[in-house]
């Protein structure tokens, strides 16, 4: 079976965008094979596309390890770029496992796009401490339709990915959790490292950027609009009223066929 795909990246957080009709072959196993960076195409996840009666498209996200996630902010933006490249203009609506998200096209240069996405209302819970093998830490739980645990640090520990992996396996998060380590570098700037549920260390994260911004703003450490700097690039998060808005790039990288 030949599976046509489009590969897209949002600040280094890369996804394959594929027609959902191919998912009948077994969506988890197939997604793992596609995302394998040595024997597959390579990606952090697959956005499987299906028709939707209310939105322009329904995107079902399967992580690189075959698990399903409610939403990826960056993945949703990659889907919007895919649709914009096919001629869709203005506001693009994408149904996710966390509801319908609206991506407004801000600019386009060739296969590179910039969108602002309304991500909805965040849920911020009280910070709590955890004793781990590497020491005690305190983090803030935030939901952007998917779970996050945001930890403020003065410096990024050399073994922060291992720490993120251990936190993500903790039984206090029965459905797993996305872990973020955050350095506040200015009134309107933070620097972040991401260890994502189902994908591991990633260059960027859309919902993670929102969660970090929300935790920083709600605790008085920083102010909206907030520039979120990650290894893969910078996104801007503004918190207006009840909604969080995420602005950033998405680039279509290539198209091809995967032999399965």
DSSP 22-56: GGGG-HHHHHHHHH-TTTS---SEEEEEE--SSSS
- Tens of each residue's pLDDT in the chain, 260 residues: 899 999 999 999 999 999 999 988 799 999 999 999 999 999 999 999 999 999 999 999 999 999 999 999 999 999 999 999 999 988 999 999 999 999 999 999 999 999 999 999 999 999 999 999 999 999 999 999 999 999 999 999 999 999 999 999 999 999 999 999 999 999 999 999 999 999 999 999 999 999 999 999 999 999 999 999 999 999 999 999 999 999 999 999 999 999 98
CB 117 within 8 A of CB 206: yes
CB 237 within 8 A of CB 209: yes
Res 37: pLDDT: 97
Element (H, E) at 239: strand 233-240
Res 228: pLDDT: 98
Task: Please report the domains of the chain, with CATH numbers, ordered by start residue.
Answer: 2-119+248-259 (3.10.310.10), 123-241 (3.10.310.10)
Res 1: pLDDT: 84
Which of helix, strand or coil describes residue 164?
A: helix
Res 33: pLDDT: 97
Instruction: Write down the pTM of the prediction.
Output: 0.96
CB 253 within 8 A of CB 8: yes
Residue 163 DSSP symbol: H
Q: Please list the alpha-helical segments (H only) found in the chain.
A: 27-35, 73-85, 160-168, 206-218
């Amino acid at each position: 079976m030949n599976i046509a795909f489009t590969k897209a990246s949002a600040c280094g957080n890369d996804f394959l965008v594929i027609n959902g009709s191919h998912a009948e072959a077994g969506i988890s196993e197939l997604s793992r094979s596609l995302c394998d960076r040595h024997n597959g195409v390579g990606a952090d996840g697959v956005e499987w596309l299906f028709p939707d009666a209310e939105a322009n498209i329904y995107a079902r996200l399967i992580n690189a390890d075959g698990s399903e996630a409610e939403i990826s902010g960056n993945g949703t933006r990659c889907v919007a770029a895919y649709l914009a490249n096919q001629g869709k203009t203005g506001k693009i609506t994408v149904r996710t496992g966390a509801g319908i998200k609206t991506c407004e096209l801000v600019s386009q240069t060739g296969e590179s796009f910039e969108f602002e996405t309304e991500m909805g209302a965040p849920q911020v819970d009280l910070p709590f401490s955890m004793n781990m093998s590497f020491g005690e830490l305190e983090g803030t739980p935030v939901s952007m339709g998917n779970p996050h645990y945001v930890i403020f640090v003065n410096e990024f520990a050399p073994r922060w990915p291992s720490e993120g992996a251990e936190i993500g396996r903790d039984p206090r998060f029965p459905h797993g959790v996305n872990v973020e380590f955050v350095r506040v570098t200015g009134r309107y700037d933070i620097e972040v490292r991401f260890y994502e549920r189902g994908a591991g260390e990633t260059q960027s994260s859309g919902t993670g950027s929102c969660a970090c911004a929300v935790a920083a703003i709600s605790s008085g450490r920083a102010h909206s609009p907030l520039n979120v700097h990650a290894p893969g690039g910078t996104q801007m998060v503004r918190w207006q009223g009840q909604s969080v808005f995420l602005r950033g790039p998405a680039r279509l990288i290539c198209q091809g066929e995967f032999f399965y």
